[in-house]
Homo-oligomer: A and B are copies of this chain.
């Protein structure tokens, strides 16, 4: 990534420590804090993982989209409880400031000036690597209009592409885990770093916003960089073989980033995020034969090769027939229906999840927290999912249990904040 540099919180604490002479932290203070970071760095904890990097927060686009996908996700959707747009602006300003600090491996706020004040940072990431933390912010349709009400005077600025997703066949959506006025996508190679970031952002927004739902994810289910191999999802199959790779800037420009002149000016350089919580019916899937699993996907389970081929990246032959004249790749196989026309191409960036076992039936509540980015969901995710929802053989083994849509504005320039194009400089 541009802006990627080997650095640890330790180095940054050195800087703040030097600048912070005279601050009262009590015995121990900065010197000991540096010591702690060094101790963990020398140990075999998370700091020894290959994540001693930072990803630049500011730029033309928000980070966490074209960034090579990290291993862990903490996603939170919030609802605003304030009626005052200037308070929303202040939240976004404060989030931007804290995000720039945390993604650089620094605490969320300044060092404490007094022991009588709460800490400006909650502390659980002290001594950990920045772990390539990225923080990506988005605005839901309800920020612009909720129950017919234009709460913040923003209805006129709502992009057409942010129209709520239409009902999709087979959806069994939990409204409490869907939607939201604002979102934060935290991705990092250390889950404690992602958790810390969301916790501190939520803390900062207190009084103006409350968390509506959140989702933890592990084990990325896509590759967004040519440096990454294709991972497996919880069905045990390779997922996202033909994903857009961030290095293909032409494809990113054509399919992911909103060009100038398309929709409102404040979204130029931004993108739209669709999140779908897809529960897998694990117990059913696990009892299905290998042959049926492969036929449902349209790929061999172990190699990831299209049925009848040997290698994951062998071209898919949708016309090929078996000895009985039946299509080798079934008409309702997932890969056949999930093939995207050029106009539909999306950038996938999802994660596996498990929220334990549901109490009623002792079954795993686990699956794929699907996230994708695109220029216009009406032309990309929606037609793609409509086709899948109607005929995909995988539908027997999955349920879409939650859904959300957010407009992710462009990145913040130096001195600016995320969403400035919408909320203004004032």
Interface set of A (CB-CB < 8 Å, partner B): 25-33, 35-36, 39-40, 42-46, 48-50, 68, 71, 76, 112, 114-119, 121-127, 176, 190-192, 195, 199, 202-203, 206, 210-216, 218-220, 223, 227-238, 282-283, 286-291, 293-294, 300-305, 307-312, 352, 354-357, 359, 362, 364, 366
A127-B232, A303-B28 given as contacts; is B227 within 8 A of A294 (CB)? no
Contact of A119 among B49, B117, B290, B303 (CB under 8 A): B290
Chain B residues closer than 8 Å to A176, beta-carbon distance: 359
Of A117, A219, A237, the most chain B CB neighbours within 10 A belong to A219
Contact of A290 among B71, B112, B352 (CB under 8 A): B112
13 cross-chain CB contacts under 8 A: A30-B302, A49-B49, A115-B290, A117-B289, A118-B290, A122-B236, A123-B232, A123-B235, A124-B232, A124-B234, A195-B218, A211-B362, A214-B356
Q: How far is the CB of A201 from chain B (nearest CB, A)?
A: 12
Chain B residues closer than 8 Å to A191, beta-carbon distance: 191, 218-219
The answer to whether B117 touches A26, judged by C-beta atoms less than 8 angstroms apart, is no
The answer to whether B216 touches A354, judged by C-beta atoms less than 8 angstroms apart, is yes
9 more contacts with CB within 8 A, not counting A28-B303, A32-B312, A35-B311, are A25-B300, A32-B302, A39-B229, A40-B229, A43-B223, A43-B228, A127-B232, A195-B234, A195-B352
A26-B294, A126-B236, A302-B36 given as contacts; is B43 within 8 A of A229 (CB)? yes
Chain B residues closer than 8 Å to A236, beta-carbon distance: 119, 121-124, 126
A232 to B40, CA, bound (A): 10
A214 to B318, CA, bound (A): 42
A366 to B291, CA, bound (A): 41
The answer to whether A45 touches B231, judged by C-beta atoms less than 8 angstroms apart, is yes
Q: How far is the CB of A396 from chain B (nearest CB, A)?
A: 15
A304 closest partner in B (C-beta): B36
The answer to whether B122 touches A302, judged by C-beta atoms less than 8 angstroms apart, is no
Chain B residues closer than 8 Å to A216, beta-carbon distance: 216, 354, 356
Chain B residues closer than 8 Å to A36, beta-carbon distance: 229, 238, 302-304, 312
Chain B residues closer than 8 Å to A46, beta-carbon distance: 71, 219
The answer to whether A33 touches B195, judged by C-beta atoms less than 8 angstroms apart, is no
A43-B228, A229-B40 given as contacts; is B27 within 8 A of A308 (CB)? yes
A237 closest partner in B (C-beta): B123
Q: How far is the CB of A359 from chain B (nearest CB, A)?
A: 6
The answer to whether B126 touches A232, judged by C-beta atoms less than 8 angstroms apart, is yes
Q: How far is the CB of A115 from chain B (nearest CB, A)?
A: 4
Chain B residues closer than 8 Å to A231, beta-carbon distance: 40, 45
A27-B309, A214-B356 given as contacts; is B286 within 8 A of A117 (CB)? no
The answer to whether B124 touches A300, judged by C-beta atoms less than 8 angstroms apart, is no
A192-B352, A289-B118, A293-B119 given as contacts; is B32 within 8 A of A44 (CB)? no
Q: How far is the CB of A320 from chain B (nearest CB, A)?
A: 12
